[in-house]
Amino acid sequence: MKYRTILALALSGSFAANAALLEVGNGIEISIINGEKVKDISSYELVKGQNQLAIQFSGSLNKSGKREHFSTVPYLVVIDVKEDDLNVELVSKKYNVIDKKVSSAQPIFQFTADNESLNSEQIILPPADSFLPYGNIQELVTTYNNERGLVFDSGKIRELKKELASVSENSKLENKESENSLQLKLWYSRANQEERKAFQKWVIDHN
């Protein structure tokens, strides 16, 4: 049933069978993982597969032989996790290096597993047009994902808007999901927490 597909999607992030732990360097904080606010900052748990992180740094860096405080804007990172454990550090401990990279919107974090560097996609999280542009990071991440139709589906970040456009162009669906199923997932990704709970209850009541 397509409704059960949506329910499975809703629960997949919380009950992932295979998880990996992420160790972070000093001053690095992750606030959002796969669209959900991090509740326990002592342990960052990722699913095996693609993960989206809202991550930033606030701490001391080396500048002209001294230590000076530096805080970055939040970055939105996509990392493909295959190992059980991985680490994240700044690409440099030098103030001028990180300052220059942030100013030019370049990646500032490096991910490693078993001392091997991992590829990641890193962009600066688009700010809100307000007095406090990063006052609500979770809302910014939700807006970013909703505008692009991004959902987290069993270790894969899917762009449902692109998939819907592809389905519309092809009358033969073959092995692809139906347009109705994709539409349901897209609308679910846009719903707030209370709306999702209400929808889950509706699914259970109608099965």
Whole-number pLDDT of residue 2? 38
Whole-number pLDDT of residue 195? 75
Q: What is the mean pLDDT of residues 34-60?
A: 92
**Residue 82 clears pLDDT 70, i.e. is over it:** yes
Span of 92-101, 115-124, 163-172, 185-194 with lowest mean pLDDT:
163-172
What is the tens place of the pLDDT at every residue in 131-156? Answer: 899 999 999 999 999 888 888 887 88
The pLDDT mean for the chain works out to: 83
Higher-confidence position of 117 and 153: 117
Q: What is the mean pLDDT of residues 108-137?
A: 94
- Yes or no: say if 149 and 162 are a contact pair by the CB < 8 Å rule: yes
Whole-number pLDDT of residue 162? 76
| Residue 54 pLDDT grade (very low, low, confident, very high; cuts 50, 70, 90) | very high
| Residue 55 pLDDT grade (very low, low, confident, very high; cuts 50, 70, 90) | very high
**Residue 167 clears pLDDT 70, i.e. is over it:** no
Cα–Cα distance for residue pair 5/1, rounded to 1 Å: 7
- Yes or no: say if 150 and 78 are a contact pair by the CB < 8 Å rule: no
Tokens of 44: 């960052």
Tracing tokens 């919380």 back to the chain, one arrives at 14
- The pTM for the full model equals 0.75
The distance from CA 100 to its chain's CA centroid, rounded to whole angstroms, is: 24
Higher-confidence position of 195 and 123: 123
**Residue 33 clears pLDDT 80, i.e. is over it:** yes
**Residue 184 clears pLDDT 90, i.e. is over it:** no
- Yes or no: say if 49 and 81 are a contact pair by the CB < 8 Å rule: yes
**Residue 92 clears pLDDT 50, i.e. is over it:** yes
Backbone angles phi, psi at 154, to 5 degrees: 50, 55
Cα–Cα distance for residue pair 2/4, rounded to 1 Å: 5
Q: What is the mean pLDDT of residues 37-46?
A: 86
**Residue 66 clears pLDDT 70, i.e. is over it:** yes
